[in-house]
Amino acid sequence: MKKRAIYFTMALVLVMAFLPAGAGFATDPITVTISGEDVAFPDGQGPVIVEGRTLVPVRGVFETMGFEVGWDNEARTATLKNEGYTVIIVAGSNVFTTNGVEYSLDVPAQVIGGRTMLPIRLVLESVGYELGWDGATRTVVITSPEEENTGSAKPEPSAPPIVAIRAMSSEISAVLGMDFDVIEKVHTFEVDGQVVIIWAFLDLRGQKLNLDDFDQNYMGDIFGSQTGEVFVMEFEGSMTLIIDLGEVDYQGQLIRSYYSIELG
């Protein structure tokens, strides 16, 4: 186990955290492919980047995938259905359900140009698809489960992330100096193609960490955490334990500071 100073590995995320909305983004359109075929958006409302997150129209993508897409205007709710899955997305909410299981989004679903838009990675993964980002061509690349099974896709992890985190309990307890409970609470970030996933927060059972025992090695404001909170995130395939150390003064601004340590 080793400390992971993520000043450099997450430098892009840190820079993006300080950019004002809409700053620094290319104006070229974003395209979407599914199994190598371009997705058409006839009404002209294609994907957009909002505050560093790529938001994609739900209907165009999921109809191309063979889902039936319904919209309840009064409830502001989109329902996506095929033989195996029912996905319910509420505009303005950062929670959606797939077959009754709740998932949390960092950015809520929004209506833009008359279309329901959201960061689509977690929704796709909840129905078995994979998503990639080609920064050179500004293309969202969606891969079907069939391609995952027959192509050169990444192998599945040996255990689901939450199971893997619980298996690391002894290692995490040694860092914290106390026992804890694992609370599954998924948040996903996409910052210019870089994906950060928070898989779980840790309940310290009423105990308090002495934050002075931990050295700050990361600063940023994108996690939405509170002082003393502890969570486990995945970045570039590695699980990392994060402790929120509270706000510090950085060049005249109050920003949050963190202790991070790579697990495994």
The overall average pLDDT reported for the chain is 78
Cβ atoms of residues 98 and 87 within 8 Å: yes
What pLDDT is attached to residue 222?
A: 61
DSSP string of the chain? -EE--TTTTTHHHHHHHHSPTTTT---SPPEEEETTEEPP-TTS---EEETTEEEEEHHHHHHHTT-EEEEETTTTEEEEE-SS-EEEEETT-SEEEETTEEEE-SS--EEETTEEEE--HHHHHHTT-EEEEETTTTEEEEE-HHHHHHSSPPPPPSS-HHHHHHHTHHHHHHHHTS--EEEEEEEEEEETTEEEEEEEEEE-TT----GGGS---EE-S-S---TT-EEEEEETTEEEEEEEEEEEEETTEEEEEEEEEE--
Tokens of 59: 């209907």
Mean pLDDT of 49-77: 86
- Percent of the chain beyond pLDDT 70? 78
Mean pLDDT of 60-86: 91
What pLDDT is attached to residue 124?
A: 87
What pLDDT is attached to residue 89?
A: 93
pLDDT tens by residue, 212-261: 999 998 887 666 788 999 999 887 678 899 999 999 888 888 888 999 99
CATH superfamily ID and name for 35-150: Copper amine oxidase-like, N-terminal domain (3.30.457.10)
Which tops the pLDDT comparison, 221 or 192?
A: 221
Most confident of the following: 48-57, 74-83, 117-126: 74-83
If you search the block for the tokens 């889902």, which residue do you land on?
A: 67
Mean pLDDT of 134-155: 68
Alpha-carbon distance 80 to 99, whole Å? Answer: 10
16: helix, coil or strand?
helix
pLDDT tens by residue, 196-207: 778 888 999 999
What pLDDT is attached to residue 221?
A: 67
Q: How confident is the model at residue 148 (pLDDT cuts 50, 70, 90)?
A: low
Q: Is the pLDDT of residue 192 over 60?
A: no
Domain-wise residue ranges, the chain: 2-15+157-262, 35-150
What pLDDT is attached to residue 189?
A: 65
What pLDDT is attached to residue 12?
A: 33
162: helix, coil or strand?
helix
Nearest to 193 by CA among 7, 26, 78, 35: 26
Cβ atoms of residues 140 and 195 within 8 Å: no
